[in-house]
Structure 1
Amino acid sequence: MVDTIKNQNSSENDDKDLNPPVVNFKSVRESKGLTLKDIYRSTRISITNLAAIENSDFHLLPPPVFTKSFIKIYANTLGVESASTLARYEQYLETLNTAFKDEEIKKPPTPARVNYRRLVWVSLILVVTIATVFLFSSYKSEIDILKDKTIQPADDNKRDIKSNIPDPTEAAMKDPENTAQSTTDTQAEQPAKDAEHTPDIQQQQIIASQQLVSTQRDVKEQYPITMQARELTWVRITLDDKQPHEILLQPGEKIEKSATDFIIDIGNAGGIDIVFQGKSLGILGKQGEVVHLKLP
């Protein structure tokens, strides 16, 4: 019986060690006569985040890397331990992970996303390429036809002259003026026939060049963006239709990107400078504040 009581007491003590009482930051702060504004002045943690820590509203806090740091700083400022509050925050994160895993199990597999924008551009480029090749081949075949038509009448004229004039030397001796006039007329016919087809060729060249210029104008412009951290700052950025990726910028670290569309989540609005298209976006918010941007 005595052993049973001892075992129960030891198990209760173990439970107390595993689950130490959570420090009430609000009660400690009020007992010291401090306000949230006083804590903000000394820690530079926003009043919103301080209140969320006191009330255990963890869903209102920024990403874990910042929240854990805020809890430690707040506890040190009040002169209390932070382990119990951090343990409760870790339990909150585990519940999120469990819920997320359950949701993934229940969620049916989503079909692969089709990049329609890329498909449209590839189709457009193929159409322009085919049209250019077709115009070039048509232009070349028409030139060949013109050459054949130009050479054939000249050959026919030569045959007619040979059949009708038995001796060109005698005809020239008898009527030199008519012979010279006939030669001049034959030479003048050649440029006139070539000139008839020149406008059609020039028109096709103009149409092909206009199509190429129109295609180049349809290409969307890409915008440059530069982000430089003044303090430790978490950033999640999505470029166009690509997958988002997260970056933890150290103080002084700078990244440069370029895309058509930007979706940016910032965990410390007061600790980063952003320059978009050569212009600064100014102060985005307070230190520790989470902001969301969509550019342009």
Structure 2
Amino acid sequence: MLITDKVNLYLVSVKPQDNRQGSGRVESFGARLKREREQRGVTLDDIALSTKIGKRFLTALEEEHFEQLPGGIFSKGFVRAYACHLGIDEEQAIADYLSATAPSSPSELPQSDLPIEMAEQLEDREPVRAVRVPWALFAALLLVAALGFALWGFHSRETRKQDHAVAHIQPAADPRVAPTHTNGQSQAADATPGSFTVAIKAREDSWISITADGKQLSEQLLVAPAERSIEARDEIVIKAGSIGALDFSFNGKQLPAQGDYEEVKTLTFDANGLHPPTPKPSSPTAQSLPPRSLAIVIQCRRESARNPYCW
């Protein structure tokens, strides 16, 4: 709507007010606001609650105590919110407010000066909104960008920490001792040409010592159902504290049980398979041992499953 059209609307709206008054006196700005509010049955408390404007400012508008208002765009904002709540023309209400707060009374001004003054006030008001909106949008975009950058930085730091922790936790695996394959054929196919593979699977816990090609690879308690796979070119020596608790396979082929539970035994493998067991030297009988030595032998037999060095 053009400024001249707004001025014409204002001039037209003044005439009905003169007829309603019947006395030739123009209805004041505050009186009109109060009349419109009372006709709709709305209280100042209702408007204050809806618009979040202090009741004392609303009272100052109706009583035309404009010196109590903050002035400028804030007062215009109060008028606009008041008119919007009542459902009356917001632009017309602001024009009436500007007319009421003008330095000179409209009755003392020439008729031709009133549209000019209102046009200047309306022109001064329009650019204010145009300048404020882009700045608010720009500030919102900056806030969103800052939050996004902060989240990205936090996520990057957490990812680096997790990667660093995993790198420290994972131990270096011995290439010669690895978990066995569940499929015997694939296990044999993975072996290095010219070498052989022995797999161990624990049905119950047992202490083991593993030596491959003269190098000791591990000495530990194998906790069921753990599995180990050893690869060598010349020889593999496995000593177990409970040979009956372990299952063995050679190049993917399952071997029969190698002894009883809690029996200490050493197995030797080469490229041809398992070496036949060597006969054990005769051990002293219980009858030939003195009482103290007999007690030591019994205790060692009990501990042999977990500590073969007892013998």
Larger radius of gyration: 2
Q: TM-score scaled by structure 1?
A: 0.25
